């Protein structure tokens, strides 16, 4: 860290139980003179109705969460269309299909109601609303040349942090690789963060998405791109998420813990979007691209082994994470504290029911060289706190596999 950094949070964040119903009212301010085609004005200005494309999935429709957001948008004067073709580890083909629908519909606003897959796909759809081609054409950093319609994110997991990030991670189904489209224009203009949307989240998703949030915070804090502001967000996120995670898995209606998970996930998202993630995510995204393993599950499986690999490069930072989790560190050196953290991360994954890498039926050791290459090519590899080569990734894959058979 050389002390140079910038901080730009382009997302208005509104947090609170029951605030889902305010989405329409809050979104009105985003349309009008800034609409994608420049042809509509807000209802308040006497123009024709602005058009909102709601991107969501079947579960959130059944749960009544997406319909509630649509009601609030209609009450605020929007014409709504729904697109629910979203799969876990969102696929490029679905993004391309959604983009076509958004263009035909003439979407002025893209509203994502869902977890990370929904929000990332909605970002890709926003790009394709005002740009030609396919989402793969915009892979990389800063490759979206023009404006996109404003994006509203209503996260329903705690989670992704995608409601405040400028990235969409999309599976390139041809290459079986998770690519990243990263551009400040993809940052949602508004995030409506309502912890009540997570009360009915199934226990498995609660556990895996919660662990993803913890990984975001720890990687944001320990990676090479960390800065003083991302550090503050990351440590505050860890302090909320770590004690709450076992509680929400035990009791999904623990309101206080659900709130802490949601706010912790939000802060972790702010942290890593201004810092980066590291090798845990590089491995998880490689695994997600090839095997379609849920993102949070894939992260959890490599979290202890990567932390053990990384700790010697930044023992004080890892010890600070352990201290923030309030692990019993009396008299331990930073390296010993980091060792205790590694043990606790493995115990936490077991306690909350995350499956082991070696127990996944689709995993084949002959794929490990491909997975190691794929991890190495990830844009976050250079920011991992310890230099990491293809051979290191290969060793981490083999060790994590053998240790959990
Ligand atoms: Fe993640």
The pLDDT assigned to 36 comes to 45
Q: How confident is the model at residue 240 (pLDDT cuts 50, 70, 90)?
A: very high
The pLDDT assigned to 266 comes to 97
Residues 6+ apart with CB under 8 A from 211: 245, 296, 299, 300, 303, 348, 349, 352, 354
Strands 51-55 and 109-114: parallel
> Helix/strand/coil (H, E, C) string of the chain?
CCCCCCCCCCCEEEECCCHHHHHHHHHHHHCCCCCCCCCCCCHHHCCCCCEEEEECCHHHHHCCHHHHHHHHHHHCCCEEEEECCCCCCCEHHHHHHHHHHHHHHCCCEEEEEECHHHHHHHHHHHHHHHCCCCHHHHCEECCCCCCCCCEEEEECCCCCCHHHCCEEEEEECCCCEEEEEECHHHCCCEEEECHHHHCCCCHHHHHHHHHHHHHHHHHHHHCCCCCHHHHHHHHHHHHHHHHHHHHHHHCCCCHHHHHHHHHHHHHHHHHHHHCCCCHHHHHHHHHHHHHCCCHHHHHHHHHHHHHHHHHHHCHHHHHHHHHHCCCCCCCCCHHHHHHHHHHHHHHHHHHCCCCCHHHCCCCCHHHHHHHHHHHHHCCCHHHCCCCCCHHHHHHHHHHHHHHCC
Mean pLDDT in the chain? 94
The pLDDT assigned to 256 comes to 97
Give the lowest-confidence range in 139-153, 209-223, 391-405.
391-405
Distances (CA, A) of 100 to 4, 72, 96, 312: 41, 25, 6, 49
Report whether 360 contacts 293 (CB < 8 A).
yes
Over its C-alpha atoms, the chain yields an Rg (Å, rounded) of: 20
The pLDDT assigned to 1 comes to 56
Tell me the domain boundaries of the chain.
12-198, 203-403
Report whether 160 contacts 269 (CB < 8 A).
yes
The mean pLDDT of 155-162, rounded to a whole number, is 94
Give the lowest-confidence range in 33-47, 83-97, 187-201, 277-291.
33-47
Q: Say which CATH class 203-403 falls into.
A: mainly alpha
Instruction: Please check the confidence at residue 38 and state whether its pLDDT lies above 70.
Output: no
Instruction: Please check the confidence at residue 197 and state whether its pLDDT lies above 70.
Output: yes
Q: Tell me how far apart the alpha carbons of residues 228 and 198 are, in angstroms, rounded to a whole number.
A: 31
Q: Tell me how far apart the alpha carbons of residues 241 and 251 are, in angstroms, rounded to a whole number.
A: 15
The pLDDT assigned to 48 comes to 84
Measured in Å, residue 232 CA sits from the centre of ligand 1 at: 19
Residue, of 34 and 148, whose pLDDT is higher: 148
Measured in Å, residue 35 CA sits from the centre of ligand 1 at: 31
Measured in Å, residue 162 CA sits from the centre of ligand 1 at: 9
Measured in Å, residue 402 CA sits from the centre of ligand 1 at: 24
pLDDT tens string 250-302:
999 999 999 999 999 999 999 999 999 999 999 999 999 899 899 999 999 99
Q: Tell me how far apart the alpha carbons of residues 323 and 345 are, in angstroms, rounded to a whole number.
A: 13
Instruction: Please check the confidence at residue 87 and state whether its pLDDT lies above 60.
Output: yes
Beta bridge partners of 181: 140, 168
Q: How confident is the model at residue 47 (pLDDT cuts 50, 70, 90)?
A: low
Measured in Å, residue 365 CA sits from the centre of ligand 1 at: 24
Measured in Å, residue 166 CA sits from the centre of ligand 1 at: 13
Measured in Å, residue 168 CA sits from the centre of ligand 1 at: 11
* Fold classification of 12-198 (topology level): Rossmann fold (3.40.50)
Measured in Å, residue 182 CA sits from the centre of ligand 1 at: 14
**Residue 138: both structure tokens together:** 């915009």
pLDDT tens string 337-388:
999 999 999 999 999 999 999 999 999 999 999 999 999 999 999 999 999 9
Place of tokens 């998703």: 205
| Residue 337 backbone dihedrals phi, psi, to 5 degrees | -65, -40
- The answer to pTM > 0.85 is yes
| Residue 352 backbone dihedrals phi, psi, to 5 degrees | -95, 10
Measured in Å, residue 215 CA sits from the centre of ligand 1 at: 7
Residue, of 33 and 363, whose pLDDT is higher: 363
Measured in Å, residue 280 CA sits from the centre of ligand 1 at: 9
Measured in Å, residue 289 CA sits from the centre of ligand 1 at: 13
The mean pLDDT of 223-240, rounded to a whole number, is 97
| Residue 11 backbone dihedrals phi, psi, to 5 degrees | -100, 130
Give the lowest-confidence range in 27-36, 320-329, 331-340.
27-36
> Helix/strand/coil (H, E, C) string of 146-171?
CCCCCEEEEECCCCCCHHHCCEEEEE
Instruction: Please check the confidence at residue 45 and state whether its pLDDT lies above 90.
Output: no
pLDDT tens string 101-118:
999 999 999 999 999 999
Q: How confident is the model at residue 212 (pLDDT cuts 50, 70, 90)?
A: very high
Measured in Å, residue 131 CA sits from the centre of ligand 1 at: 27
Measured in Å, residue 40 CA sits from the centre of ligand 1 at: 36
The pLDDT assigned to 404 comes to 80
Instruction: Please check the confidence at residue 119 and state whether its pLDDT lies above 60.
Output: yes
The pLDDT assigned to 43 comes to 47
Residues 6+ apart with CB under 8 A from 40: 31, 32, 47, 48, 49, 50, 51, 108
The pLDDT assigned to 259 comes to 97
Instruction: Please check the confidence at residue 326 and state whether its pLDDT lies above 90.
Output: yes
The pLDDT assigned to 196 comes to 97
The pLDDT assigned to 4 comes to 87
């Amino acid at each position: 860290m050389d002390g140079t950094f910038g901080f730009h949070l382009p997302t208005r964040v509104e947090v609170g139980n029951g605030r889902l119903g305010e989405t329409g009212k809050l979104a009105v301010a985003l349309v009008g003179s800034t609409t994608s085609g420049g042809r509509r004005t807000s209802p308040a200005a006497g123009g024709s109705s602005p058009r909102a494309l709601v991107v969501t999935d079947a579960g959130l429709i059944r749960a009544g969460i997406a319909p509630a957001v649509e009601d609030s948008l209609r009450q605020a004067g929007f014409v709504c269309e729904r697109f629910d073709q979203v799969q876990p580890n969102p696929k490029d083909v679905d993004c391309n299909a959604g983009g076509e629908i958004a263009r035909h519909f003439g979407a002025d606003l893209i509203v994502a109601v869902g977890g990370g897959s929904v929000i990332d796909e909605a970002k890709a759809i926003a790009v394709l609303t005002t740009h030609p081609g396919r989402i793969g054409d915009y892979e990389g950093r800063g490759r979206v040349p023009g404006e996109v319609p404003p994006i509203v994110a209503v996260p329903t997991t705690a989670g992704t942090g995608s409601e405040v990030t400028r990235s969409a991670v999309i599976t390139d189904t041809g290459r079986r690789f998770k690519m990243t489209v990263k551009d400040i224009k993809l940052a949602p203009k508004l995030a409506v963060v309502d912890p009540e949307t997570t009360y009915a989240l199934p226990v498995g998703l609660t556990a895996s998405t919660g662990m993803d949030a913890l990984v975001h915070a720890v990687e944001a804090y320990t990676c090479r791109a960390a800065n003083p502001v991302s550090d503050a967000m990351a440590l505050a996120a860890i302090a909320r998420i770590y004690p709450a995670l076992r509680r929400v898995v035990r009791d999904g209606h623990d309101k206080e813990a659900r709130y802490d998970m949601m706010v912790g996930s939000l802060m972790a998202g702010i942290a890593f979007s201004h810092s980066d993630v590291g090798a845990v995510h590089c491995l998880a995204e490689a695994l997600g691209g090839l095997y379609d393993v849920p993102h949070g599950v894939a992260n959890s499986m490599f979290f202890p082994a990567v932390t053990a690999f990384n700790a010697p490069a930044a023992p004080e930072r890892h010890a600070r994470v352990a201290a923030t989790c309030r692990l019993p560190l009396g008299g331990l050196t930073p390296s010993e504290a980091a060792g205790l953290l590694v043990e606790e991360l493995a115990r936490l994954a077991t306690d909350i029911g995350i499956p082991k890498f070696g127990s996944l039926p689709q995993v084949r050791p002959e794929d490990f060289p491909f997975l190691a290459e794929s991890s190495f090519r990830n844009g976050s590899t250079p920011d991992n706190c310890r230099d990491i080569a293809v051979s290191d990734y290969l060793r981490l894959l083999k060790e994590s596999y053998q240790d959990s058979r």
